[in-house]
A and B are shown apart, each in its own frame.
Chain A
Amino acid sequence: MAAFSSLIKKNRYQLINLHRIIKAQSSFKIVFTLCFALFFEVGLFWLFLDGFNFLHRMGGVGLIIISKLFDIFFLGMGFMLIVSSIVSSYSTIYRSDEIPFLLTRPFSISQIVLYKFFESTGLSSWAFFFIIIPFICAYGYHENMSAAFVVWNFLFSIPFLITCSGIGTVITIIIVRWIPLGRYLRIPGIGIAVIAAWFLIHELLKYRSITTESDLNLSMLLPGFTLASNPLLPSYWISEGIMLLTGGQWLNGVMFGIMITSTSMVICISIEWVGQKIFHEGWQRLTNGSSINERAPVMLWWLQNILLVFPSDIRAIVMKDIRTFFRDPVQWSQALIFFGLLALYFSNLRTFRYHTFPENWRNTIAFLNVFSVSAVICSLGARFIYPQLSLEGQGFWILGLSPARMSRILLTKFFLALSCMLLVSTSLMFLSARMLNAAPIVVVVAILLVCSISAVVCGLSTGLGAIYLDISQKNPAAIVSGFGGTLNLVLSLCFMLVAIIPFGMIFHLNLLHRMNNHQMYNSLIIAGLWLVVLTVLSIITPLYLGLKTLLRREY
């Protein structure tokens, strides 16, 4: 126990020292980051409030949606927390340099796993609170809730956070221990996967089988409502408990509070148990096993052959980056989660019967999907493209000393990122438009917009990544969360808005019949020219500045 408490004390020291690190930062960076956070929170609050007001004005269905939104919100947050915990606990528990250190100190394995679980939960919690604060404030304000509503939200959120994050951590520990499956587990594992897939398809087909309009009702339209009201889910306990306690129904409210708290405790005990039983095997498998596995002598040799048309230095950089990406499960699994969820949503647009909506609504949804894809493009740019130069690490001098010109290195990185990004973003956009049967003009504009945003995000991320190069940092999360990473994300999001809003306004005015079709096409041409100029400038400027910084730099 003394050993464990020393870890707590160590964390306290680190927290105290944080101010020294912050003091070393420029005040411009601090003010910029704080202003961005504040702007983001206020913006989200305004967005949520505007949404509630819109639903309220709709009346009928809108009011039912508002009453169910609280359940849905926590269901969604719970799902996101589990997914983010799977990702963050993998890097915090398995990829941390601290683990070998702790393993050779007098800690039991269960103590180490539990300690790292809390660290991982702490890392995911700030984003959780960052999102729920504006939502809760907007919901409470709109529904005229008392201040107790906010307090209950805070108190219920902590065990909910531990529960969801804990589920993610347990999944990670199990995955790392047994996947890829060994020879004997492979057949049962594939069997379970097939049964799970069959069950999922069966459930989805239930919704597809409804063909007549009269079958449509709210729960069929939004299957999430039914799921969110399932009394076996912790998200239901938290939303119900908060509402009951705010409404003064103490007994039932406290019962839900006890349920969520005891569940979080059971989860902690489970992590301790699972950690003690299988963590070490998984950690060994990960840190020592992978290098021994027999691999093909050259990964993706066929791609290397295709790239023979390019000069050798470009081919070398491209192949190195692609191989590094595919050999790092953290990188490709996160990219898969980013786009996989969006692809799942788009491919189910018909399940939710959006394609049966009137044409105007379908076009609006198709256009709103540009926002979803663009937001994911911005996140991917920030997470994967921005840190790629810094992640070259101390080995950057190899590139620096090579006969390859720095401009070629930078442009190779840019075009490689752009090719990958375009492939995925245009496919997603095409899938969305196809599922919605959107009008051809909307499809063309949507695809052009994501192409432009992809190109600018790649240019900004590569250029700013060169300007704020940090070769001493090994952790991509730390690189991304630095000043340059934040600036990159802010500028990418700003460009996204500046690019999309003019087109959105044109379609909106046409929808309201304030602009006829002829005027709409003329306006679209002007907006298109504006987009081209903006795109070219936003690509060239950061790349040029990035190149100048790299050329000036000493390695």
Chain B
Amino acid sequence: MIEICNLTRKFGSFEAVSNLSLTVLPGELFCFLGPNGAGKTTTIKILTGLLRPTSGTTRICGLDMQIDPIAVKKLIGYIPDMPFLYERLTATEFFQFTADLYEVPQNKVPLLCDESFRLFGLLDCRNVLIKELSHGMRQRLIYASTFLHNPQVLFIDEPLVGLDPYSIRLIKDLLMEKARAGMTIFLTTHILAVAEDIADRIGIISKGKLIAMGTLKELLALNNECKNLEDIFLHLTENDN
């Protein structure tokens, strides 16, 4: 579903991502971990078309973002760590706007809106301007609108930033449910407990290079002296700090 082949991205002489290759399978929830500045966000930005690779290729559902960007964008969803929302729209209007963008049939939008807003606890603020919503509510709204077109591949950069425990539980359950239903999810996080809880596979990147990848069990087996993911992460990336 996501194929990254020899991906390199340079900023001047600095190599943010270096010869990265990995594959994420359909319906897999893949957690991409790494210290600050390791290249996680750069990788996600390349996969979502925000950045272009210096070399190497990325394919989403068999399509190359550089060759057919519109087709790829219709298949993916992206939630950045600090998402942009149109502050002068109401929650419903933003939802409607997203539906229009992804050509969701008009007659289905009200029902989808109801269901989605109920699920994310947004019903009470459906007609409130986004600028008046709290950070948590904005995050919920961006999730609701991202799931609207039922993307086959979802990219999330720091999915739980600024959310309360209820919202965290909601998002974690939802992501696992979506993955079970066949959605491929590629997320980055610094909260290692989240990765332990929900990831099917984990990749660790350091200084632009993939230094470990596998299920939690596989990673633990490879690092005998480590008891949990935190130990593995700190052990593998200690040279960074």
Alpha-carbon gap, A9 to B86, bound state (A): 13
Q: Are A6 and B100 in contact (CB under 8 A)?
A: yes
**Contact of B89 with A by CB under 8 A:** yes
**Cross-chain contact of B88 among A18, A105, A289 (Cβ < 8 A):** A18
Residue A288 lies at the interface, judged by CB distance under 8 Å to chain B: yes
| Residue in contact with A13 in the complex, picked from B70, B84, B89, CB distance below 8 Å | B89
1/0 per residue B70-103: CB within 8 Å of A?
1001101010100110101110010011001111
Which residues 250-288 of A have a CB within 8 angstroms of B? Answer: 280-281, 284, 288
Chief secondary structure at chain A's binding surface:
helix
Residues of B contacting A17 with CB < 8 Å?
A: 88-90, 93, 129
Q: Are B74 and A20 in contact (CB under 8 A)?
A: no
Q: Give the CA-CA distance A371 to B88 in the complex, in Å.
A: 39
Residue interface mask A384-395, B partner, CB < 8 A = 1: 000000000000
Given that A3-B101, A13-B93, A13-B97 are known contacts, is A106 also in contact with B73, CB under 8 Å in the complex?
yes
* In contact, B49 and A104 (Cβ under 8 angstroms): yes
B12 interfacial by beta-carbon distance below 8 Å? yes
Q: Tell me the smallest distance from the CB of A124 to a CB of chain B, in Å.
A: 20
A211 at the interface (CB under 8 A from B): no
A471 to chain B, nearest CB (A): 15
- What A residues does B50 contact at CB under 8 A? 100, 103-104
- Determine how close the nearest CB of chain A comes to the CB of B82; give it in whole angstroms: 9
Residue of A with least CB distance to B74: A106
When A and B form their complex, what is the total count of cross-chain residue pairs whose Cβ atoms lie within 8 Å? Answer: 75
Cβ A21 vs Cβ B88 within 8 A:
yes
| A1-22 to B contact mask, C-beta < 8 Å, 1/0 | 0110110011001100110110
What residues of chain B lie closer than 8 Å to A293, measured between beta carbons? 12
In the bound complex, do residue B73 and residue A14 qualify as a contact, i.e. CB atoms below 8 Å apart? no
Interface contact A289-B12, CB-CB below 8 Å: yes
Shortest Cβ gap from A161 to chain B (Å): 24
Quick check: is A108 within 8 A (CB to CB) of the other chain? yes
A106 adjacent to B88 (CB under 8 Å): no
Q: A104 to B88, Cβ gap below 8 A?
A: no
B201 to nearest A CB, angstroms? 24
* Contacts A6-B100, A13-B97; A100 near B84 (Cβ below 8 A): yes
Report A99-115 residues with CB < 8 Å from chain B CB.
Answer: 100-101, 103-108
Q: Which of A101, A281, A291 contacts B84 (CB 8 A)?
A: A101
Is the CB–CB distance between B88 and A14 below 8 Å?
yes
A97 at the interface (CB under 8 A from B): yes
Contact across chains for A104 and B78 when beta carbons are under 8 A apart: yes
Chain A: CB-nearest residue to B72: A106
Question: B73 touching A10 by the CB < 8 A rule?
Answer: no
Please tell me if the beta carbons of B100 and A104 are within 8 angstroms of each other in the complex. Answer: no
Expressed in whole angstroms, the minimum distance between the Cβ of A512 and any Cβ of chain B is 55
Interface size class of B (residues with CB under 8 A): 20 to 34
Interface residues of A toward B: which range?
20 to 34
B58 → chain A closest CB, angstroms: 14
- Chain A residues 396-421 with CB under 8 Å of chain B are none
Also in contact, A284 and B89, with CB within 8 A (given A98-B84, A106-B73, A292-B14): no
> Is B86 a contact partner of A10 (Cβ separation < 8 A)?
yes
A147 to B208, CA, bound (A): 67
Q: A13-B89, A18-B88, A104-B78 are in contact. Are A288 and B11 (CB under 8 A)?
A: yes
Residues on B with C-beta less than 8 A from A291 are: 11
The distance from the CB of A72 to the nearest CB of chain B, in whole angstroms, is: 39
Nearest-neighbour CB distance to chain A for B128, whole angstroms, equals 10
Inter-subunit contact B89/A10 (CB<8 Å): yes
Q: A97-B84, A288-B11 are in contact. Are A104 and B70 (CB under 8 A)?
A: no
Q: How far is the CB of B185 from chain A (nearest CB, A)?
A: 16
Q: A14-B86, A17-B88, A289-B11 are in contact. Are A105 and B51 (CB under 8 A)?
A: no
**Assuming A5-B100, A6-B100, A106-B102, is B88 touching A288 (CB within 8 A)?**
no
* Identity of the chain B residue whose Cβ is nearest the Cβ of A285 in the assembled complex: B11
Tell me if B48 is interfacial: C-beta within 8 Å of chain A.
Answer: yes
Closest partner residue, chain B, to A5 (CB atom): B100
Say yes or no: B97 contacts A9, CB within 8 Å. Answer: yes
Q: Is B100 within 8 A of A9, CB to CB?
A: yes
Smallest CB-CB separation from A103: which chain B residue? B50
Binding site for B on A (CB under 8 A): 2-3, 5-6, 9-10, 13-14, 17-18, 20-21, 97-98, 100-101, 103-108, 280-281, 284, 288-289, 291-294
A sample of 6 cross-chain residue pairs with beta-carbon separation below 8 angstroms, ordered by A number, consists of A10-B89, A14-B88, A17-B88, A18-B88, A20-B129, A292-B12
Query: A100-B84, A292-B11 known; 14 other A-B pairs, CB under 8 Å?
Result: A2-B100, A3-B100, A3-B103, A10-B100, A13-B89, A14-B88, A17-B129, A18-B88, A20-B129, A21-B88, A101-B84, A103-B49, A104-B49, A293-B12
